[in-house]
Chain A
């Protein structure tokens, strides 16, 4: 059966001004998964005169309007969050602009409430075969550190490291998309921590986002790391499933976000809790 390879050279650029990205397929065996518009077998009578499919087949360029580019870029986003994310830095892709190959990375900066940009180039490799393996990503970025979140992170860290006032929260955001401002860093931390799982679970047929932090509880600080139990809801776009995970998360400004334990929660059809349940 061999390996299903999808090698992309994804150059992620910035949201500010005019993004200028190229997305190219690398060399290697033809993409194997059968939903891909590229993989129309030669024998089939296609009569395609549309620019959409033609463009992909003749130039070999991965159309950023098409889903493979989006899925790949999202995996890179998850990877970047595991590397650079914090309660004050939750990295998101900007949307892909139609018609030209543009993918941007948007970094949220808590104070300025704007987006700061960085330029990343990444290589992404989806291993196939037996045994679900996490995608392999190599990326290097410039400019991500422009967004200086150090002061906020340090203040947050100092505020919460003493164990006499452990924080917890649930339903972040709530059903109406609302959250208390004090909860926002915990939401973002949940998103970054979720990225570890989302990265690990991703393949060519998935697209993950964190849907909600069901709840989190701060535990005693250990080895200078803030520690939390998180229960997060992930949304997988292709199956449309909501997947529950519990995580043990640590963070400090120096060590960044670490996920020590993950536990998939069973898909339970009967145990639907009312929206405001605290677990």
Chain B
């Protein structure tokens, strides 16, 4: 590495208008006596050979390093051999070495991306590894407030990470928020990241958020479908489902938001593994879903469950699998109205609201229907920006405005939850 660095440094100094060093070699020549040393000095001065001396011929104890252009190689080697001057090839092909150095530098630069959550770039989309690094940094920076819980593993073995925001207590009432259950909805994972930072920033400074966290815990799963997310970065931007293969089919993946045990298997989901709304072989067949189910049940004291999607700008409450209104429809409807009014106050973004069934479509096996039926009253699902112009590929410059306005709605829901449960 050090030698490489030296080479690079020298090279930067030595380059004059040459485009490429393909085939050039660097020879290390060790003169045996003064005569040979003089010959080497003469050789170096022959302009037509275009030799590039890296380490000058000084004395006998110091080797001479010379970059020999490809076109002069035969001549130089013949000369050295005729004169019986020992040499070795230090660099076989300079261009190859330069390319490798460059690649190392670039990957080093990539690997040393943000050191703190303050220099993390919230205005762009990040891949799963970067978000996971962010999570670890956030915990490290806020050890008293934030911890990471691994609730399970994805099909491909990725950890399912949940950030717990807590100021103490034992099994306090909790609020659950997840983003990215559908991997192509990139604005949601990006917003989730922003929410995490917002929470640690505002605790102790914003009265409402502080009161919430002094009484309740917040659980945030940012990358709810990490396999799908990875796939949407590397292969297919429009991938929605998990990445678990389906036996007997060439089609991969289950829709993780049709896989919950609420109206599972009824109209509003598909039984065809090739479909985007494939419900899976049975309820909770997907580890990404089962892990949340297990967590929620064992926690036993969650009071709100918020599942965030994009796009179409809606805030919805149960049910999706039936037209029968849920028991708390009136309250949930009024709270939704309040939440989206707060949301709209920031940039005028307009959200519709209502039950899943009436507002968007019949959908069965969805997360919030399950959570509501578990007794978690404040079960909501968001569809963030936009309404179709960009759809899933929302420009990165809309990440922060989208997250900020959504946060206002989340705060309304969380505050109401704090004030109306015990």
What is the interface of chain A, defined by CB distance below 8 A to chain B? 35, 37, 40, 46, 48-53, 63-67, 70, 74, 90, 92-99, 173-178, 191, 209-212, 233, 235, 237-242, 267, 269-270, 272, 274-275
Contact = CB atoms under 8 A, between A and B. Distances in A.
Given A175-B233, A233-B238, A239 B277 contact: yes
A52 B350 contact: no
A137 B359 CA distance: 23
For the complex of A and B, 4 pairs with smallest distance between CB atoms: A177-B395, A209-B388, A240-B276, A95-B350
Contact of A173 (B232, B337, B393): B393
A240 B240 contact: yes
16 contacts: A37-B323, A50-B333, A52-B325, A52-B333, A53-B325, A66-B359, A95-B313, A95-B352, A175-B393, A176-B395, A212-B238, A237-B360, A242-B276, A270-B250, A272-B236, A275-B237
Contacts, number: 132
Interface in B196-235: 232-235
B390 A37 contact: no
Given A37-B323, A98-B337, A275-B235, 12 more contacts: A64-B352, A65-B352, A95-B349, A98-B340, A176-B396, A177-B397, A211-B393, A233-B238, A235-B392, A237-B361, A239-B277, A242-B238
Contacts of A174: 393
B332 to A, nearest CB: 10
A267 B237 CA distance: 15
Contacts of A53: 325, 358
B77 to A, nearest CB: 44
Interface string B375-401: 000000000000111111111111000
Given A67-B360, A270-B250, A50 B352 contact: no
Contact of B350 (A94, A235, A269): A94
Contacts of B360: 67, 237
B329 interface: yes
A88 B162 CA distance: 45
A50 B329 CA distance: 7
Nearest to A238: B361
B353 A50 contact: no
Given A53-B325, A267-B274, A35 B250 contact: no
Contacts of A66: 354, 358-359
Contacts of B313: 95
Nearest to B360: A67
Given A50-B329, A52-B354, A237 B394 contact: no
A52 B330 CA distance: 9
Contacts of A70: 352
B293 interface: no
A173 B354 CA distance: 31
Nearest to B330: A50
Nearest to B274: A269
Contact of A176 (B124, B358, B389, B391): B124
A178 B396 contact: yes
Contacts of B252: 269
The interface centre, meaning the residue of A74, A209, A239 with most chain B CB atoms within 10 A of its CB, is: A209
Nearest to B337: A98
Given A52-B354, A176-B395, A65 B359 contact: yes
A175 B235 CA distance: 11
B93 interface: no
Given A95-B351, A209-B388, A211-B391, A37 B358 contact: yes
B391 A235 contact: yes
B163 interface: no
Most A CB within 10 A of own CB, among B125, B329, B362, B391: B391
Interface in B336-368: 337, 340, 349-355, 357-362
Interface string B267-296: 000100011110000000000000000000
Nearest to A267: B274
B167 interface: no
Contacts of A67: 358-361
A239 B124 contact: no
For A46, A95, A267, the residue with the greatest tally of chain B CB atoms inside 10 Å of its CB is A95
Given A65-B354, A274-B235, A275-B235, A95 B387 contact: yes
A174 B355 CA distance: 33
A266 to B, nearest CB: 12
Contact of B276 (A93, A173, A241): A241
